[in-house]
């Protein structure tokens, strides 16, 4: 059976001649429908580059990306995307920002009012629908951004270190929110991160990327039950996963 997402010998080189920077690859990755895959690697290893190439938002130097056997050329539009710096615009309220996703896609806003309320409720933001982003804390902004990325029910969610700028407690809370939504809607998630714990807690599979130029060191299937709450995080198995990944990066001199 063909995989949902197939990345074949994908490579990216920025610049030309003397200024040439080999940023990523070549790497081959297969992802199934509904998987939560983390791309884990040190900063500068090209993991964000990989994500953008998968989304068709950045051209690759060589290799190809296929979704359901269809070659990706140019930006893919059936995705939801989220970055470390959120994509909320300051002139719209939280609700308006979620509607922005729908408006740009030409959807009828009336059909979505209930869904907007529900998704805001699922991340405890229902009372902040009419607030502007700069009235919210960093963590609340990221939760609002998550609603913005999810409202159109994309089959694929791309998360580029969405929790990178948040404090430890807020991260913990939002991880739980992500997990809850993923378990309900089961989209395919590609999650770029440099936090080992975060990757192990959330993903069904972790792909370890070497320092630049990023190549795949190995893939680790995380065989832990969902939802992965504090109890799971304290289990020996969880700690073993974290330790084994730490050893890999230790070998590279990253940690």
Partner 1 sequence: MKKFIKWIFSGWMLILFFAGFFLFWEYSIPLFDIPRYILPAPSEIVLKGSADLDKLIYYTGVTALETVLGYIIALILGLGFGIAISFSSILRRTLYPFFVSIEMTPKIAFAPLFISWFGFGLMPKVIIVVLVCFFPIVLNAILAFNSLSNELTLFYQSTGASRLKTFFTIRLPAALPQCFVGFKYAAINATVGATIAEFIGSDKGLGFYISIVTGNMRPDLAFAGIFFLTCLGLSVFGFVTMMEKILIPWHISMKRINK
**Piece of 29-37, 101-109, 117-125, 215-223 that binds partner 1 (CB under 8 A):** 101-109
Considering only 29, 55, 200, 208, the residue that binds partner 1 (CB under 8 A) is 55
Q: Is 193 in the site for partner 1 (CB under 8 A)?
A: no
Q: Is 243 in the site for partner 1 (CB under 8 A)?
A: no
Q: CB under 8 Å to 182, separation ≥6 — which residues? A: 36, 189, 202
Angle between helical axes of 138-150 and 113-122 (0-180°, round to 10)? 140
Q: Is 109 in the site for partner 1 (CB under 8 A)?
A: no
Q: Which residue has the tokens 């907007």?
A: 116
**Binding pattern for the stretch 162-181 against partner 1, x by CB under 8 A and - elsewhere:** --------------------
Q: Is 255 in the site for partner 1 (CB under 8 A)?
A: no
Q: Which residue has the tokens 């429908």?
A: 33
Q: Is 108 in the site for partner 1 (CB under 8 A)?
A: no
| Residue 66: Cβ-neighbour burial (10 angstroms; 0-12, 13-18, 19+) | middle
Angstrom distance (rounded) from CA 254 to CA 244: 14
Considering only 32, 33, 62, 87, the residue that binds partner 1 (CB under 8 A) is 87
- Residue 9 or 135 with smaller CB distance to partner 1: 135
Q: How far is the CB of 148 from partner 1 (least distance, A)?
A: 8
Closest residue by Cα to residue 41 from 216, 222, 204:
216
Angstrom distance (rounded) from CA 122 to CA 145: 13
Q: Give the ranges where the chain is alpha helix by DSSP (H).
A: 47-54, 94-104, 113-122, 138-150, 168-185, 196-202, 230-234, 236-251
- Residue 104 or 255 with smaller CB distance to partner 1: 104
- Residue 116 or 208 with smaller CB distance to partner 1: 116
Q: Is 44 in the site for partner 1 (CB under 8 A)?
A: no
Q: Is 83 in the site for partner 1 (CB under 8 A)?
A: yes
Q: Is 57 in the site for partner 1 (CB under 8 A)?
A: yes
3-state secondary structure of 121: helix
Q: Is 75 in the site for partner 1 (CB under 8 A)?
A: yes
Size of the site for partner 1 (CB under 8 A): 24
Closest residue by Cα to residue 173 from 194, 127, 142:
142
3-state secondary structure of 233: helix
Q: Which residues bind partner 1 (CB under 8 A)?
A: 52, 55, 57, 75-77, 79-81, 83, 85-87, 89-91, 100-101, 103-106, 132, 134
């Amino acid at each position: 059976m063909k995989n949902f997402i197939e990345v074949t010998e994908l490579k990216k080189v920025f610049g030309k001649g003397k200024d040439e920077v080999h940023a990523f690859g070549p790497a081959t990755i297969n992802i199934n429908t509904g998987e939560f895959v983390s791309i884990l690697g040190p900063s500068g290893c090209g993991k964000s580059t990989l994500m953008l190439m998968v989304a068709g938002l950045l051209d690759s130097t060589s290799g190809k990306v296929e979704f359901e056997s269809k070659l990706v050329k140019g930006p893919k539009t059936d995705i939801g995307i989220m970055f470390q710096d959120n994509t909320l615009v300051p002139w719209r309220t939280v609700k308006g920002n979620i509607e922005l996703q729908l408006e740009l896609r030409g959807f009828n806003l009336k059909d979505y009012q209930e869904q907007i309320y529900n998704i805001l409720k699922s991340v405890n933001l229902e009372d902040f629908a009419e607030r502007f982003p700069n009235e919210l804390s960093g963590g609340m902004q990221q939760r609002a951004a998550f609603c913005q990325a999810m409202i159109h029910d994309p089959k694929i969610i791309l998360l580029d270190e969405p929790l990178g700028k948040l404090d430890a407690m807020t991260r913990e809370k939002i991880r739980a929110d992500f997990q809850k939504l993923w378990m309900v809607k089961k989209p395919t998630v590609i999650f770029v991160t440099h936090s080992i714990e975060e990757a192990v807690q959330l993903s069904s599979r972790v792909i370890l990327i070497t320092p630049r130029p990023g190549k795949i060191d190995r893939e680790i299937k995380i065989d832990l039950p969902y939802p992965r709450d504090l109890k799971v995080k304290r289990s020996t198995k969880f700690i073993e996963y974290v330790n084994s990944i730490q050893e890999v990066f230790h070998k590279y001199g990253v940690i």
